[in-house]
């Protein structure tokens, strides 16, 4: 499988910014960052033919030193929400920003300065109009 076909763009993998979590015979979560832009990606690869591959091109991966999350948690964002998944249980949580941000995921820190996620909390520091805006939400994963 060619990554460019799957992701609709050329992604250059960095061997120090890639990992995989395998959940028994159910699925694998492949996490990686593009070594040119630093953009994070997630792929959820099912081991059965009934489910499709899930792909996320706005991943919050801990390869980036400003993104902190446990090894068993995956996170991704769009322009208004951060989504969190516990890879062991499949349990999810999310935190919505108060408004939609305008930034490029190829330069994610234009919009999202830093993220700290645990099983109990999502903390995000946004860059908005030249100011740092903290957001926090308690969760239960």
pLDDT in tens, 74-83: 999 999 999 9
In terms of DSSP bridges, do strands 40-46 and 121-128 run parallel, antiparallel, or are they unpaired?
unpaired
pLDDT value at residue 5: 62
pTM beyond cutoff 0.85: yes
Rg, Å, the chain Cα set: 15
Q: How many residues are given for the chain?
A: 141
* Phi, psi values for residue 110, rounded to 5°: -65, -35
The model's pLDDT over 64-73, given as tens digits with 9 standing for 90+, comes to: 999 999 999 9
Percent with pLDDT over 90 in the chain: 61
Chain-centroid distance, C-alpha 62: 9
pLDDT(3) > 70? no
The model's pLDDT over 21-47, given as tens digits with 9 standing for 90+, comes to: 999 889 999 999 988 888 899 999 999
pLDDT value at residue 137: 97
CA nearest to 33, candidates 110, 94, 105: 105
- 8 A C-beta contact, residue 72 and residue 86: yes
Can you give the residue ranges of every domain in the chain?
A: 3-138
């Amino acid at each position: 499988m060619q990554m460019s076909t799957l992701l609709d763009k050329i992604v250059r993998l960095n061997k120090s910014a890639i990992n995989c979590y395998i959940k028994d015979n159910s699925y694998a979560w492949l996490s990686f960052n593009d070594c040119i832009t630093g953009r994070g990606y997630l792929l959820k690869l099912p081991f059965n033919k009934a489910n499709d591959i899930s792909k996320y091109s706005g991943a919050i991966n801990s390869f980036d030193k400003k993104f902190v999350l446990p090894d068993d948690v995956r996170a991704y964002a769009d322009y208004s929400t951060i989504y969190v998944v516990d890879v062991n249980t499949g349990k999810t949580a999310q935190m919505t920003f108060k408004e939609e941000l305008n930034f490029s995921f190829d330069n994610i820190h234009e919009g999202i300065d830093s993220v700290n996620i645990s099983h109990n909390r999502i903390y995000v520091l946004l860059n908005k109009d030249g100011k740092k805006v903290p957001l926090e939400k308690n969760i239960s994963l």
